Structure 1
Amino acid sequence: MVMTKVPAPPPCGASVEIVTISSVDLSDAREPMRWREAPVDLGKHRDSAAPNTDFRPTPAEIGPDAEVLLGRLLHLERELLAAPPKPRTSVLPELKMPGRDLRIDACRGIALWCIFLNHIPNNIGSWLTLRNYGFSDSAEVFMFASGVTCAIAYGKAHERGGWMGVLGRTLQRSWDIYAAFLLLILACAVVVYLAGGGGLADETNTRILLEHPGATLAQAAILQYRPVNTDVLPLFVIFHLLFAPLLWLMLRVPNVALGASLLLYASVHLFGWTVPAWPNNAWFFNPLAWQLLVVLGAWCVTEGMKFWPRLSSRLALGLAVLYLAFSLTIALGWSIRPPEVLVPQILTKLPYLAGKSDLDPLRLLHFIALAILVVWLVPRNWRGLSTPAMRGAIRCGENPLAIYCLGVLLALAGHIALVKISDELAMQIALSFVGILVMIAAATLLSSIRTKPGQRQPLMTSDFIAEDARRNASPVRPLNR
């Protein structure tokens, strides 16, 4: 309340009139300010020539001080009306950034290339992959990137359709992977059969399928039988089925979810927990251990941005570089005979300890160190992402299921070519180069078919199988926790 003394109208002589100016609450203002009428005694103006029916004081009548106050209030009103309203709900950290992070697609596409090169036995092209220069390889990159894109894609499904929408989407995508897994098994069996079987059937673990197709397909239907190089698909069937409860935890208690995942991972190494399989009773990728990378990827989307300043510090970068240099020395030393030339004899057994089936801690630490270094060296707007090679990797990363299945068949065909035709160095290089070109061409074709003519490229990548999440380019809205 502001009280201002101003001179009374001329007929009143030396008398003084008190004019009351009421302030208004501008916090909820949504339209121009309206001044409240001040009560005026009409008896004081009975001598006026004409009665004044407008009882709202003007700035000239209330004096210079009140005029300054009125100007300040109007200026404050304009500022409040121009300011955007603050969001009432929290937003997933990664979802705040517009568009998709092409680095995720590029890393996943390069991982698919490396997986293809590694699946061809005795291939010189495998020296271009990670497995020869450290403890981890492309599988860790692929799993982590899939966890990131799962959180983004299913987070958008939750925003559009709630938890029933997430459940429906996860069931649908799990079915897609499951169907692709069974079709890939049949395709591998047909290729091996046409190639004459023999030793190739033993190397690809398809002899039992060719000799006992009924029982083997029954075991494959319950994810117990897996030919060589198809092990990753059953993992994703399970992970997608369970991603709805994981997302529920990630949106509410992300650190608790990550802690539970770490506890399960530690139990695998302390107590030897595993999942039964057929016929050798072992999964090459133990789901109880490899789930950690998927959970870690989802955690980085929902909560990781709060901890990123610590991971991006110079100390963390220095430790990552030292560990990568150490693992590089061990890996290169193991490739040389005798390995004691580069590393002490006590360290030559480390590659054996860094087992892949249970995701040994040496492999996990190597991947984390590699991820820290890559994020430091490759910014989000890196110009290299627009080069033809990176564009090809991005296209492959956008179509991971189809390109993975194609890579398995191409690797099998390359293996047959090396055995039946020639295993010379030129043949190995040609098979590696042509195989990657075929993968890029297939991914480009799939993207062009999915994108309608005249339609802009979507803004957000899907997860490993949730390709339809890319079809909607609407901006992401906040998720209610």
Structure 2
Amino acid sequence: MKRRLELDALRGLLLVLMTLTHLPTRFSFYSSQAFGFVSAADGFVFLSAFLTGAIYARKLAAGQHRAVRSILLRRAGRLYLWHLGLLAFAFTVIAAIGAYGHRPALYNLLDFYFTAPEVALWTAPLLVYQPPLLDILPMYIVFVLATPWVLGAARRDGWRKLLLLSGLIWLFAQCGGRRLLLEGFNAATGIYVPIPEQALGSFNWFGWQLLWIGGLWAGAASNDPKLRPQLEVSPMMRAAAAIAVLGFLAWYHNLGGIWPPRDMYWFGKPTLRPLRLLDFTMLAITASWLVPMLFRGLRWLAMLGRASLSVFAVHLLLVLGSLALIADDSVPLDDVQQLLVLIVTFTVLTWIAWRYQQRRRDAGD
């Protein structure tokens, strides 16, 4: 697949929005759900799956089955090592600062670890216990590991059955399936402090896999002449989607005096509730039309996007460090501290992305 700079730039923008959301600055209020009821994480997961499907479905079609499995297994292994490193940093340095430095933001972040450290220490490497901020990498690892099987099954049996199965798993998530499995895990292991559902992280894998499978399908279809017509969207549909997206934004951001509903159940993030999926679908349709026109020349964002996994992992370290600056939840960082946090964070992330680009260039890739 030829490198598409506009997709790299879009992924870079999503990384910037996620970083702003996680940093303890005033900008987190505006970046957390900048696109209505959809966060940058939704787009990042889908776009990562799209690029994965576009690249590796074609390699499978060329008969490179072993190479695809090997590459994705190595990627999952690198991600897992990143995750273990972040856990080690959180359970030692961050936990010590939170406990002995009286930092409530850090203490709350690791509340289950402080409640049951023995349980946390063996369930976290198994990707069961997932502290806040450290809950997206476990999901990504599992999805990457499953990708060779998914693409292989799609090549043998077609995408229709896989998408149907994915939809059924999504329904399982909406019906509280994760909670039932957690109760079974707690009962089977007999741990003395049962793991609460919130300790599993804010991403319900059974719901979010629909976004990943959909992204794999869209990526595979973009390179397959037989499937590509399924991605085609008429100008009228794009216009309707754009209008609907503007309506969602107006509703969400209180334009015209319209306030969002009190009950946000149908827009929930953890399991990808139905109206959230609808909002994302409309945004994706609109983006497929606008991104090629608007994002092609944004080189800094494209550089961040090309080094997305390294940038994402390092941004978590920087966010954990910035949270250590908060001495009291009721007294956030002042304006100077917020500015310094932003400057340091994006300087480091830019350097990480630049180093990644240099290494790729030296390797001749």
**Bin of the TM-score, shorter chain as denominator length:** 0.7 to 0.9
| Contact 2:265–2:273, Cα closer than 8 Å, also in 1 | no
Cα deviation for residue 149 of structure 1 reads 2.0
CA pair 113-383 structure 1, distance change in 2 beyond 3 A? closer
User: Structure 1's 350 and 391: CA in aligned 2 closer, same or farther, altered over 3 A?
Assistant: farther
Relative to the length of structure 1, the TM-score reads 0.64
Q: How big is each residue's C-alpha offset from its partner over 1:167-219, in whole Å with a ceiling of 9 and x where there is no partner?
A: 333332222222211111111233324534332333212x5436754432211
1:144 aligns with 2:57: no
Partner of 2:16: 113
Q: Which residue of 1 aligns with 2:242?
A: 321
| Aligned counterpart for 1:279 among listed residues 191, 195, 203 | 195
Rounded to whole Å, the distance in 1 between the matches of 2:61 and 2:238 is: 36
Question: 1:260 offset after TM fit, Å?
Answer: 2.1
The answer to whether the Cα contact below 8 Å between 2:52 and 2:216 also exists between their aligned partners in 1 is yes
Work out the CA distance in 1 between the residues paired with 2:170 and 2:265: 19
Q: Is the 8 A contact 1:250 1:298 kept in 2?
A: no
Deviations 1:384-420 (A, max 9, x none): 533xxx3222222222222111111111222223447
The structure-2 alpha-carbon separation of the partners of 1:111 and 1:286, relative to structure 1 and needing over 3 Å to count, comes to same
Q: Which is higher, the Rg of structure 1 or of structure 2? A: 1
Equivalent residue, structure 2, for 1:357: 270
Does the aligned pair in 1 maintain the 2:221–2:231 contact within 8 Å? no
- Which SS does the other structure have where 1:359 is aligned? coil
Q: Does the C-alpha gap of structure 1 residues 303 and 384 become closer, same or farther in structure 2, counting only changes over 3 Å?
A: closer
2:281 paired with 1:368: yes
Moved more, 140-149 or 367-376: 367-376
Shift of 1:248: 1.2
Q: Residues 173 and 207 of structure 2 are in contact (CA less than 8 Å); yes or no, is this contact kept in structure 1?
A: yes
Aligned-residue offset at 1:431: 2.0
3-state secondary structure, aligned to 2:253: helix
Q: Distance in 2 between matches of 1:364 and 1:179?
A: 31
- Tell me whether 1:182 sits opposite 2:84 in the alignment: yes
Q: 1:251–1:130: structure 2 CA closer, same or farther, 3 Å change rule?
A: farther
Q: Does 1:307 align with 2:210?
A: no
Deviation at 1:447, TM superposition (A): 2.0
Residues 1:267 and 2:168 are matched in the alignment:
no
Structure-2 change in CA distance of 1:166 and 1:320 (3 Å): same
- Aligned partner (choices 295, 298, 306) of residue 216 of structure 2: 298
**Contact 2:8 / 2:302 at 8 angstroms: preserved in 1?**
yes
Count residues with an aligned counterpart.
340
Q: Give 1:135 shift.
A: 0.3
- Supply the AA of the counterpart residue of 1:374: A
Structure 2 gap ranges (5+): 186-193, 223-227
Alignment partner, residue 348 of structure 2: 438
Deviations 1:28-52 (A, max 9, x none): xxxxxxxxxxxxxxxxxxxxxxxxx
SS of residue matched to 2:296: helix
- The residue matched to 1:451 in structure 2 has which SS? helix
1:297, CA displacement in angstroms? Answer: 1.1
Structure 2 counterpart SS, 1:154: helix
Q: Which residue of 2 aligns with 1:406?
A: 314
C-alpha distance 151-132 of structure 1, shift in aligned 2 (>3 A): closer
Structure 1 residues 294-329: Cα deviation after superposition (integer angstroms, max 9, x where no partner):
1111111223521233x2x23212321232122212
Moved more, 99-108 or 418-427: 418-427
TM-score by length of 2: 0.83
* CA RMSD across the alignment: 2.7
The alpha-carbon distance between structure 1 residues 332 and 384, as it changes in their structure 2 partners (threshold 3 A), is closer
Aligned residues: percent identity?
Answer: 24
Q: 1:219 aligns with which of 117, 123, 136?
A: 123
CA contact (8 A) 1:152 1:301 kept: yes
- Check conservation: 1:182, 1:221, Cα contact below 8 A: yes
Pairing 1:396–2:304 present: yes
Which consecutive unaligned segments of at least 5 residues does structure 1 have?
A: 1-94, 459-481
CA contact (8 A) 1:132 1:331 kept: no
Q: As a proportion of its length, which structure holds more helix?
A: 2
| 1:163-242 equivalent positions in 2, closer than 5 A | 163-197=65-99, 198=102, 199-205=104-110, 207-209=111-113, 213-242=117-146
- Greater relative contact order (CA < 8 Å, ≥ 6 in sequence): 2
